[in-house]
């Protein structure tokens, strides 16, 4: 199988995606493997646009088929935001815990618990040609942050039909159901077919 570059410097995402790829015997490179630290500005208005910006950048820089993801949480009590600004929203608080408290307070104030995670993956295998794969998982905001696994908003998100947050699930359990694994599985099925 030819090499494939995953355009990310997020260690947690790289570990999560490599675990999914290992099952399929595909060789995955990360930016770290190629000593690339610079990333383009994510100026897109949608997850798809941001993923394309990154996969095009990686492909143009290395000549290696490249995929990138953009993911985020959309919360009903925040008018389905922060969405594509999820990382910036989290970084605006002095700690993740302060952010989670703010989200939980908003959820209770508006009596709206619904939320979803979305991932868009863009694959660039030739210039100016992207194939996009989406994954989405519905759920709700928990009444308190719980769990030590996962990263980002995982401690406050309870997937539909579950009574635990994503951060309370093991990496394997999360990879069975997560928005990212849904999108990555679509990408892998495309690559092996």
Rounded Cα–Cα distance for residues 144 and 71 (Å): 22
Would you name the residues annotated as active-site residues? 70
* SS3 readout for the chain: CCCEEECCCCHHHHHHHHHHHHCCCCCEEECHHHCCCCCCCCCCCCHHHHHHHHHHHHHHHHCCCEEEEEEEEEEHHHCCEEHHHHHHHHHCCCCHHHHHHHHHHHHHHHCCCEEEEEEEEEEEEECCEEEEEEEEEEEEECCCCCCCCCCCCHHHEEECCCCCCHHHCCHHHHHHHCHHHHHHHHHHHHHHC
User: What separation in angstroms does the CA of 83 have from each of 38, 40, 179?
Assistant: 23, 19, 14
Rounded Cα–Cα distance for residues 108 and 143 (Å): 8
């Amino acid at each position: 199988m030819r090499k494939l570059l995953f355009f990310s410097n997020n260690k947690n995402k790289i570990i999560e995606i490599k675990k999914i790829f290992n099952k399929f015997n595909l060789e995955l490179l990360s930016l770290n493997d190629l000593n690339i630290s610079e990333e383009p500005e994510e100026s897109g208005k949608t997850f798809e646009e941001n993923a394309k910006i990154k996969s095009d950048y990686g492909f143009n820089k290395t000549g290696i088929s490249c995929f990138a993801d953009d993911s985020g949480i959309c919360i009903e009590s925040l008018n389905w935001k922060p969405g594509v600004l999820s990382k910036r929203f989290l970084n605006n608080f002095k700690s993740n815990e302060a952010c989670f408290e703010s989200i939980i307070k908003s959820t209770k104030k508006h009596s709206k618990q619904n939320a979803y995670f979305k991932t868009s993956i863009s694959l660039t295998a030739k210039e100016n040609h992207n194939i996009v794969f989406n994954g989405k998982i519905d759920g709700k905001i928990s009444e308190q942050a719980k769990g030590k696994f996962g990263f980002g908003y995982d401690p406050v998100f309870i997937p539909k039909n579950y009574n635990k947050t994503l951060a309370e699930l093991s990496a394997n359990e999360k990879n069975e159901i997560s928005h990212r694994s849904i999108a990555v599985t679509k990408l892998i099925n495309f690559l092996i077919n």
